[in-house]
Structure 1
Amino acid sequence: MATQPDIRIVMATYNGEPWLAEQLESLFSQNEGRWKLVVRDDGSTDATVKILQRWQEKYPERITWYADNRRLGPARSFSELMVANQSADYLFFCDQDDVWTADKLERGLAALREMEQRFGAETPLLVHHDLTVCDRSLIPIADSFLKFQALDPAKNGLSRLLLQNVVTGCTTGINRALARKAGAVPESAIMHDWWLALVATSFGQIRCLRDPGLIRYRIHGGNTCGTAERALSWSHIRRRLTQKGGPGLQALLRPYYRQAQVFLERFRGELSLQQTELVQAFIALPRKSWLARRWTILRYGFWKQEWIRNIAWLLRA
């Protein structure tokens, strides 16, 4: 008899009182029911902890949650959850304010298992998918987040991911090999999903499911990440091309270079020579002359996802 897979959903909560119960209801409505939920609360001051306590009392064998006095933020909270649950066969990341459709976990798990059959269970693997963008009342704003943000998930090579992430954390599932390879997410990493994408593209495989209906992604103004602005709207284009004042582009890019630097330091002995050269070239961009920066961008393919971003990138780099 085949053993049951160890599937864990990890969730970081912070002041999620308005949304949390609805998300939990959607988890317990999943077609795939062989999962356990592990939650870390990041110091909520509303009724989030009471909601977690109530649900854990109802489902003690399915829900584990904990809180401590540290305020870590979402990236480090999810990092801690990932490291603590590295023994699981599969990990799925869950935000407190979205709603999963009934087949979301089933589809993600099937994709990961198919990839393991093809590439081997010891290969770091990541699955993510499109989603439906909704307002705070879950009324759809856009049927496809990828189209809304003009993202092509097939452009997921290392040169692209150093400059722009295409993996949305709440849609992500990973296997044990990727959890162990990624390890603790460094403080210099911008977000946990970006770090996982960099590791997966360098040492394993990434697959995107194009179905946007698997999550209703709630934009309510308090999201850690997320925007309600369409990427190719006229207001977006005008702002990109005429933006003045504020920090310069190089100041905005410093977190990207720091993330690349810590990625190189973590995996220097494991990256290929070509990968090492590419990451080093990216890190060196701000030290190059105007002309040399553009030559490096062209040579290594440090491109963003759509034409207006790339025009702004070339003009301002």
Structure 2
Amino acid sequence: MDEKPLLSVIMPVHAGEAWIAATLDSLADEPAGDLEVLVIDSSPTGATAAIVERFAHRLPLRLLERRDLGPWQTKTNLGVELAAADHVCILHQDDLWLPDRVAAARRWLADAPEVGLHLAPTAVIDRHGRRVGRWNCPLPADEVLGAQFLLERLLVQNFVSVPAPIFARTAWLACGGMDEKLWYTADWDIWAKLAVAAPVIYHDEITTAFRVHGSSLTVTGSRDASEFQSQMQIVLERHLPRLPASSRRWVEPAARASISVNVSLAAASGGDLKALVRAARAVLSLGPRGTRRYLRDSRLRERVTCRLRAKWTGAF
């Protein structure tokens, strides 16, 4: 690559034969001259790599076959370390880019060069690629946001969809990258760390799609209730002390209620319908004002609605 790319796209993949062709197609539909696409593949066979190699004439690809690297967090950290661009994003093997992603990235970076983390909403799609909703962030658009403002909302619920953000490579490296011990909440943790490390801005512009399906980590990882709960509590307890006491007084009850709701919803999805009663009690315990804040920051309605739509269409 003769010139430094605008953006490095890190793709941690594993046994991605079912999805990765569509994902790479979505990248190839965009202008590729400003990109570096770094695929780190830990698959046990060469089937995924063979699909990736078919795109070598359409994309500026670097393929690393690393069967020794299991977790996606480990592969992502390596990818960021190896990235040639100053700005980086992550794209999982089952997610997509939408038209004008590159144009939006170029505009975001030019308009706010001081920002270390660019956030955005994303479309939610089912396993067949049909839109079932929109994943928003409860943030004002086009304003540089301080760490306290963002953490007060982010600690209630992780509202950042992995394919949407663009971040400064130096900020990621400075805050230590992803905690590889957090197999479920490493993305939540890194957004909180980046919020403290550098200014953040939210763009109300959808340029990516997040796929919901029954074999995703989002679904399978929540089946062990105690471990699922522990993963969320680690992030909360790690970052809550960063807030002043005046904020912690209302953020902590909402965040702990949110964890309880998430665990209850996972149990209900597995057939324990009594868990829905526990979820309702957790929310109502916050009182009217706390409940309104929780519903704003948790995006509970849209999260549940997207998954229900995918199930109703038989495409979850």
Q: What is the TM-score of this pair, normalised by structure 1?
A: 0.67
- Of 134, 141, 153 in structure 1, the residue corresponding to residue 132 of structure 2 is 141
Helix, strand or coil for the counterpart of 1:225? Answer: helix
**For the residues of structure 2 that align with 1:4 and 1:296, how far apart are their CA atoms?**
42
- Of 96, 109, 119 in structure 2, the residue corresponding to residue 128 of structure 1 is 119
Helix, strand or coil for the counterpart of 1:174? Answer: strand
Give the drift of 1:20: 1.2
Q: What is the total number of aligned residue pairs between the two structures?
A: 254
Helix, strand or coil for the counterpart of 1:40? Answer: strand
Give the drift of 1:91: 0.7
Aligned residues of 1:188 and 1:258 also touching (Cα < 8 A):
no
Q: Structure 1's 313 and 44: CA in aligned 2 closer, same or farther, altered over 3 A?
A: farther
1:218-248 residue CA offsets vs partner (Å, 9 max, x unmatched):
2232222379xxxxxxxxxxxxxxxxxx857
Q: Structure 1's 305 and 276: CA in aligned 2 closer, same or farther, altered over 3 A?
A: closer
> Where does residue 282 of structure 2 map in the other structure?
312
Give the drift of 1:65: 1.0
- Across the aligned residues of Structure 1 and Structure 2, the Cα RMSD in angstroms comes to 3.6
**For the residues of structure 1 that align with 2:248 and 2:154, how far apart are their CA atoms?**
13
**For the residues of structure 2 that align with 1:277 and 1:210, how far apart are their CA atoms?**
27
Give the drift of 1:129: 1.6
**For the residues of structure 2 that align with 1:16 and 1:185, how far apart are their CA atoms?**
22
Q: Residue 106 of structure 2 aligns to which amino acid in structure 1?
A: L
Q: What is the TM-score of this pair, normalised by structure 2?
A: 0.67
Q: Structure 1's 226 and 175: CA in aligned 2 closer, same or farther, altered over 3 A?
A: farther
> Where does residue 138 of structure 2 map in the other structure?
152
**For the residues of structure 2 that align with 1:216 and 1:311, how far apart are their CA atoms?**
33
Helix, strand or coil for the counterpart of 1:37? Answer: strand
Q: Residue 79 of structure 2 aligns to which amino acid in structure 1?
A: L
**For the residues of structure 1 that align with 2:232 and 2:256, how far apart are their CA atoms?**
16
- Of 193, 201, 209 in structure 1, the residue corresponding to residue 195 of structure 2 is 201
Q: Residue 96 of structure 1 aligns to which amino acid in structure 2?
A: Q
Helix, strand or coil for the counterpart of 1:303? Answer: helix
1:140-167 residue CA offsets vs partner (Å, 9 max, x unmatched):
212x122xxxx51459622433342121
**For the residues of structure 2 that align with 1:53 and 1:297, how far apart are their CA atoms?**
50
**For the residues of structure 2 that align with 1:183 and 1:34, how far apart are their CA atoms?**
26
Segment of structure 1 superposing worse, 295-304 or 61-70: 295-304
> Where does residue 103 of structure 2 map in the other structure?
106
Q: Residue 216 of structure 1 aligns to which amino acid in structure 2?
A: A
Q: Structure 1's 215 and 84: CA in aligned 2 closer, same or farther, altered over 3 A?
A: same
Aligned residues of 1:19 and 1:96 also touching (Cα < 8 A):
yes
Q: Structure 1's 223 and 49: CA in aligned 2 closer, same or farther, altered over 3 A?
A: same
Helix, strand or coil for the counterpart of 2:64? Answer: strand
Q: Structure 1's 167 and 45: CA in aligned 2 closer, same or farther, altered over 3 A?
A: same
> Where does residue 25 of structure 1 map in the other structure?
25
Give the drift of 1:38: 0.4
Q: Structure 1's 176 and 69: CA in aligned 2 closer, same or farther, altered over 3 A?
A: closer
Q: Residue 64 of structure 1 aligns to which amino acid in structure 2?
A: R
- Of 170, 174, 186 in structure 1, the residue corresponding to residue 167 of structure 2 is 174
Unaligned runs of 5+ in 2: 141-147, 262-278, 287-316
Aligned residues of 2:9 and 2:88 also touching (Cα < 8 A):
yes
Q: Structure 1's 169 and 32: CA in aligned 2 closer, same or farther, altered over 3 A?
A: same
Helix, strand or coil for the counterpart of 2:54? Answer: helix
Give the drift of 1:299: 5.1
- Of 81, 85, 90 in structure 2, the residue corresponding to residue 88 of structure 1 is 85
Give the drift of 1:186: 1.9
**For the residues of structure 1 that align with 2:65 and 2:39, how far apart are their CA atoms?**
9
> Where does residue 258 of structure 1 map in the other structure?
234
